[in-house]
Amino acid sequence: MAATFRGTTPEPPDVRPRLTVLSGPSGVGKSTVVAHMRKEHPEVWLSVSATTRKPRPGEQHGVHYFFVTDEEMDKLIANGELLEWAEFAGNRYGTPRAAVLERLENGEPVLLEIDLQGARQVRESMSDSRLVFLAPPSWEELVRRLTGRGTEPPEVIERRLDAARTELAAEPEFDVTLVNTSVEDVARELLALMDVV
Ligand SMILES: Nc1ncnc2c1ncn2[C@@H]1O[C@H](COP(=O)(O)OP(=O)(O)OP(=O)(O)O)[C@@H](O)[C@H]1O
Ligand SMILES: Nc1nc2c(ncn2[C@@H]2O[C@H](COP(=O)(O)O)[C@@H](O)[C@H]2O)c(=O)[nH]1
- Nearest residue CA, atom 13 of ligand 2? 26
CA of 106 to the centre of ligand 1 (A): 31
Q: 188 and 145 in contact (C-beta within 8 Å)?
A: no
Q: Is 118 touching ligand 2 by the criterion CB < 6 Å?
A: yes
Interval 86-144: pLDDT, tens: 999 999 999 999 999 999 999 899 999 999 999 999 999 999 899 999 999 999 999 99
CA of 54 to the centre of ligand 1 (A): 19
Give me the sheet containing 110-113, strands edge to edge: 5-6, 176-179, 130-135, 19-23, 110-113, 45-46
Secondary structure (3-state) at 115: coil
pLDDT for 3 beyond 90 = no
Average pLDDT over residues 24-40: 97
pLDDT of the residue at 18: 82
Q: 177 and 7 in contact (C-beta within 8 Å)?
A: yes
Q: Is 180 touching ligand 1 by the criterion CB < 6 Å?
A: yes
State the average pLDDT for the chain: 93
Q: Is 89 touching ligand 1 by the criterion CB < 6 Å?
A: no
CA of 7 to the centre of ligand 2 (A): 25
Q: 93 and 84 in contact (C-beta within 8 Å)?
A: no
Sign of torsion over alpha carbons 88, 93, 94, 95: negative
Interval 49-76: pLDDT, tens: 999 999 999 999 999 999 999 999 999 9
Confidence of residue 196 (pLDDT cuts 50, 70, 90): confident
Q: pTM of the prediction?
A: 0.94
CA of 9 to the centre of ligand 2 (A): 26
ipTM of the predicted assembly exceeds 0.90: yes
Confidence of residue 5 (pLDDT cuts 50, 70, 90): confident
**Which of 138, 145, 159, 183 for mutating ligand 1's site (highest number of atoms within 8 Å of CB)?**
145
Confidence of residue 1 (pLDDT cuts 50, 70, 90): very low
pLDDT of the residue at 197: 78
